[in-house]
A and B are shown apart, each in its own frame.
Chain A
C-alpha cells in the first residue's frame, strides 16, 4: 500500500475525528480514541494537531470550506436563482446522507460547545468560507432582481435554519421519507419565501 502523504494523513484524522466527535460527543472523545481509529500513535497524532481544541477548530474550518467550495460552484453557474436554491438544497441533503458526520459535527459540537470555540473561532472567523458564499448567493439574487431585498440574516436564517432543521429531523429518524423526497418541495418553499415581491 502506498504511503500516505502528510496532507492525506491529516485528512484521514479529520474524517475519523468528525465521526467520533459527532457520535460520542466532544468531551467523551479522547485523542487516544482518534489516534487508535486512524492507526497511529498518540505521539504522532500531535505532529498533526497539537491539542483537541485546535483540532475542533480545524474541523469547523474544514466543513465551512467544504460547503463554501460547493456553494461557490453553484454560484458560478449561469442558472436562475430558483435553480441555485434547488442545487444548494440538493447538495446539502446529499451531504447529510453521504457524510452525516459533517452536519452532525456542526449541530452537535460547534453549536453546542461554544466554550471550545470562543477563543479564535468567534463569530464568522471559522465559518467565513461558507457564510461568504451565502452572501454572494443572496447578493447575486437581488442584483438579478430575483430575490426580495431584505436583511441578510433574516434570509440566511430562513434558508439555513430550515435545512438544518430538516437534517436534524432526518438524523433523529423522525422523517417518514428519505431526504431526497423533500428536495423539490423545500426548494420551492425557500424560493417562494425569498423571491422578489
Chain B
C-alpha cells in the first residue's frame, strides 16, 4: 500500500520562447524510461502526459516540479493566457522551479529578439532581476545550450531522493557546474605547452589561442559527462562556446579575441600577469612530440 509520501513527484514541463533544444536533448537520456517511472508527468511537450495542455494553462493544477524551458517574454501568451500569469501561478505552487537551458536561466539566444523585455526566470544575464525573484529559493538553473540530459536527470533524481541540490551563486547545481569545461579536455597537454590547433576538426592542438575556445572560462562538465556518452565539442575540434554562462551567446564564437596577440580573456581566476609569465615560458619550449600529426607519431619522438 502506498502512503502519501510514496506519491511520485509530479512535473509540469512548460515552454516559453524556445527552439525545443532542451526537450530534444533530454529525449536522448540513456535511461529515460527508468527516470520517468519515478515521476508523474502532468505535461511535457513531447512525452506522454496525464493532463492536456488546456488544463495546464487554466492554472488550476498543482505540481512538485515546474520545469520552464526557453526565454521568458512577459508579452507571450499560451492558449490565450499570459505566460506571466502561468509562470507565477506554478512558481507559487511548485516545490522546485527548474529553469532549463541558458534561455530560461539567463535569457540566452532568444533574449536577442527583445533584449529590453526578455530574460531568464530569475536572472537577466548576470543580474538577478527576473520575474521569479520572489521565489528565488526554489529556482535551480540548469544552463546550457542545450543542456546535457544527464544534468537534468541528476537534478531530478536528487529531488526525487529528497536530497538537497546545492547551488552556486548563479543557482546552478554545484555538482555539475563547479568545474570548467576545460576539465577533462583531451587537448590539455596542448594547452599546457601552448601549441595551437592548426584548424577546426583536427585532433591536435589547443583551440583556446585562435579558435575561440571558452573552456578555460566556462563552468560546465562537458568533458566529464560526455555527450552521447562518447564526445564533446573540444574533443572533435570545435571550440567551447561558453554556452552555460550568463553572457552566452557572445559574438565571433569561432575566434579568440586578442589584444596584440594576447588573449583578452584568460583562464578563470588566474591573474593576467601570472598567466602571461607562465605562457611565455611554456611557449619557449618546443615539444616535438606535440608538433606533428598524431597519425605520424613515432614513439621515439
Q: Which residues of A approach B to under 8 Å, CB–CB?
A: 122-125, 128-129, 131-133, 135-136, 138-139, 141-143, 147, 149-153, 155
Tell me the minimal C-beta distance from A60 to chain B in angstroms.
14
Query: Please, how many angstroms separate the alpha-carbon atoms of A187 and B164 in the complex?
Result: 61
Closest residue of chain B to A75 (Cβ to Cβ) is B273
Tell me the minimal C-beta distance from B143 to chain A in angstroms.
27
> Do B284 and A125 have beta carbons less than 8 Å apart?
yes
Of the four ranges (under 10, 10 to 19, 20 to 34, 35 or more), the interface on chain B belongs to 10 to 19
Give the contacts of B142-159 with A (CB-CB under 8 A).
Answer: none
Query: Please, how many angstroms separate the alpha-carbon atoms of A129 and B262 in the complex?
Result: 16
Interface of A is mostly: helix
> Do B260 and A124 have beta carbons less than 8 Å apart?
no
Which of A135, A139, A143, A151 is in CB contact (< 8 Å) with B280? A135
Q: B46 on the interface (CB 8 Å rule)?
A: no
> Do A136 and B273 have beta carbons less than 8 Å apart?
yes
Q: With a CB–CB cut-off of 8 A, which chain B residues contact A147?
A: 260
Closest residue of chain B to A121 (Cβ to Cβ) is B284
Q: Which residues of B approach A to under 8 Å, CB–CB?
A: 258-262, 264, 272-273, 276-277, 280-281, 283-285
Query: Please, how many angstroms separate the alpha-carbon atoms of A141 and B260 in the complex?
Result: 9
Which of B260, B264, B273, B285 is in CB contact (< 8 Å) with A151? B260
Query: Please, how many angstroms separate the alpha-carbon atoms of A139 and B259 in the complex?
Result: 5
> Do A155 and B260 have beta carbons less than 8 Å apart?
yes
Query: Please, how many angstroms separate the alpha-carbon atoms of A152 and B279 in the complex?
Result: 14
Supposing A123-B284, A123-B285 touch, asked if A128 and B277 sit within 8 A by C-beta, the answer is yes
Query: Please, how many angstroms separate the alpha-carbon atoms of A139 and B258 in the complex?
Result: 8
> Do B276 and A132 have beta carbons less than 8 Å apart?
yes
> Do A131 and B272 have beta carbons less than 8 Å apart?
no
Closest residue of chain B to A194 (Cβ to Cβ) is B260
> Do B281 and A123 have beta carbons less than 8 Å apart?
yes
> Do B262 and A139 have beta carbons less than 8 Å apart?
yes
Tell me the minimal C-beta distance from B208 to chain A in angstroms.
16
Which of B259, B277, B283 is in CB contact (< 8 Å) with A138? B259
Query: Please, how many angstroms separate the alpha-carbon atoms of A155 and B281 in the complex?
Result: 20
> Do A131 and B259 have beta carbons less than 8 Å apart?
no
Which of B259, B272, B276, B281 is in CB contact (< 8 Å) with A125? B281
Query: Please, how many angstroms separate the alpha-carbon atoms of A142 and B264 in the complex?
Result: 10
Tell me the minimal C-beta distance from A110 to chain B in angstroms.
15
Query: Please, how many angstroms separate the alpha-carbon atoms of A14 and B285 in the complex?
Result: 28
Q: With a CB–CB cut-off of 8 A, which chain A residues contact B258?
A: 149
Q: With a CB–CB cut-off of 8 A, which chain B residues contact A132?
A: 273, 276-277, 280
A-B contacts, 24 of them at CB < 8 A, read A122-B284, A122-B285, A123-B280, A124-B283, A128-B281, A132-B273, A132-B276, A132-B277, A135-B276, A135-B280, A136-B273, A136-B276, A138-B259, A139-B259, A139-B264, A141-B260, A142-B259, A142-B260, A143-B259, A147-B260, A149-B258, A149-B259, A151-B261, A152-B262
